[in-house]
């Protein structure tokens, strides 16, 4: 069984895979981690079969996999927010944080009122993954657009984009902070893990109208978007536009799954207490019960229906 998932849930999925192995010792589980859009494209072209697909943006299932005929349901199982990370030892980052103790998760300073001016200083480099390969990458650019609207600063999104340095897909860019680049937009649970292993690692929170943390603001977030090449076969729409939305992870069992029964058992673990425990220990935050739309609920495997809540998706 092949479990394809976003790199941002590697730690949690490793725990769920170990739990699955205990109850299904005869099943060989292959873990495939990477950028969610890149994994979706490899699934579409047949280069990477997946029995379970879990993306860092649930909209990747809705807007990439479903139109390509690769999925018929989206289960939203976790949520988080984006933060701005840096090294306290990097002189270029001085002034980005408002006063306050950095003791995550209990105390994390907010960004300074003019944090974006620090990022616009000459020579400052901002790390993101490629926006056409990974939601972490395109969410950074969405946040630039939202910051421009929030601060009413013309051309701010373009100015911030000029400071972006694309990190290698699949690589862990954190050790290069302070050398290859100065700042990084990253999921909060990933930043907290980095801070535990590096005393110099810091991050600040941003206003909720920028950090993609509130489902109540989805209508405002949707004013930002990114357009990328579609992943479907020739003859389909050449491009797809993904609107910004609250940070939430989604999972599906692709229609091409060759191990559907095992895939359902794995997703049941993910949506049950073993998955919730793994997410509590490693992040992101579990959504329990997980969410599906009313239409998708009708198409969901019967074994998974008791583990979800059907209705409007507001992760």
- Determine the Cα–Cα distance for residues 215 and 291; give it in Å rounded to an integer: 13
The reply to whether 130 and 14 lie within a common domain is no
Query: What pLDDT does 314 receive?
Result: 65
The reply to whether 207 and 274 lie within a common domain is no
The reply to whether 255 and 209 lie within a common domain is no
The reply to whether 89 and 133 lie within a common domain is yes
Asked if residues 48 and 39 have their Cβ atoms less than 8 Å apart, the reply is yes
Count of structural domains within the chain: 2
The reply to whether 147 and 206 lie within a common domain is yes
Provide the residue range defining the domain that includes 188.
82-217
In a domain, 235, yes or no: no
Query: What pLDDT does 284 receive?
Result: 98
The reply to whether 172 and 260 lie within a common domain is no
Query: What pLDDT does 169 receive?
Result: 47
Q: Kindly report the CATH number assigned to the domain that includes residue 14.
A: 3.40.190.10
The reply to whether 202 and 276 lie within a common domain is no
Query: What pLDDT does 168 receive?
Result: 56
What's the whole-model pTM score? 0.95
The reply to whether 43 and 54 lie within a common domain is yes
The reply to whether 31 and 104 lie within a common domain is no
The reply to whether 93 and 75 lie within a common domain is no
Q: What is the pLDDT along the chain (315 residues), one digit of tens a residue?
A: 999 999 999 999 999 999 999 999 999 999 999 999 999 999 999 999 999 999 999 999 999 999 999 999 999 999 999 999 999 999 999 999 999 999 998 999 999 999 999 999 999 999 999 999 999 999 999 999 999 999 999 999 999 999 998 865 444 444 467 778 999 999 999 999 999 999 999 999 999 999 999 999 999 999 999 999 988 765 567 899 999 999 999 999 999 999 999 999 999 999 999 999 999 999 999 999 999 999 999 999 999 999 999 977 766
The reply to whether 87 and 208 lie within a common domain is yes
Query: What pLDDT does 257 receive?
Result: 97
The reply to whether 41 and 89 lie within a common domain is no
């Amino acid at each position: 069984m092949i479990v394809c998932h976003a790199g941002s849930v590697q730690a949690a999925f490793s725990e769920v895979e170990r739990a699955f192995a205990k109850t299904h010792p005869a099943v060989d589980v292959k873990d495939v981690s990477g950028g969610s859009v890149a994994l979706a494209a490899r699934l579409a072209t047949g280069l990477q079969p997946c029995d379970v697909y879990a993306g860092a943006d649930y909209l990747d299932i809705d807007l990439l996999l479903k139109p390509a005929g690769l999925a018929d349901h989206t289960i939203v199982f976790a949520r988080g927010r984006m933060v701005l990370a840096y090294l306290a030892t990097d002189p270029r980052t001085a002034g980005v944080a408002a006063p306050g103790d950095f003791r995550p998760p209990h105390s994390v300073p907010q960004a300074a009122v003019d944090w974006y001016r620090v990022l616009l200083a000459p020579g400052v480099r901002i790390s993101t993954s490629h926006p056409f390969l990974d939601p972490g990458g395109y969410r950074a650019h969405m946040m630039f657009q939202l910051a421009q609207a929030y601060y009413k600063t013309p051309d701010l999104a373009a100015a911030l984009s000029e400071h972006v340095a694309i990190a290698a897909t699949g690589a862990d860019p954190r050790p290069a902070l302070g050398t290859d680049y100065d700042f990084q937009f990253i999921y909060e649970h990933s930043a907290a893990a980095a801070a535990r292993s590096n005393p110099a690692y810091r991050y600040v929170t941003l206003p909720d109208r920028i950090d993609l943390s509130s489902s109540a603001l989805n209508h405002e977030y949707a004013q930002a978007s990114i357009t990328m090449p579609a992943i479907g076969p020739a003859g389909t729409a050449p491009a797809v536009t993904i609107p910004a939305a609250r940070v939430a992870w989604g999972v599906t069992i692709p229609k091409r799954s060759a191990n559907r029964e095992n895939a359902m058992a794995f997703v049941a673990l993910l949506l049950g207490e073993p998955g919730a425990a793994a997410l509590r220990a490693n992040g992101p935050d579990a959504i329990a019960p997980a969410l599906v739309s009313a239409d998708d609920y009708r198409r969901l495997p019967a074994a998974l229906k008791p583990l979800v809540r059907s209705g409007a998706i507001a992760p």
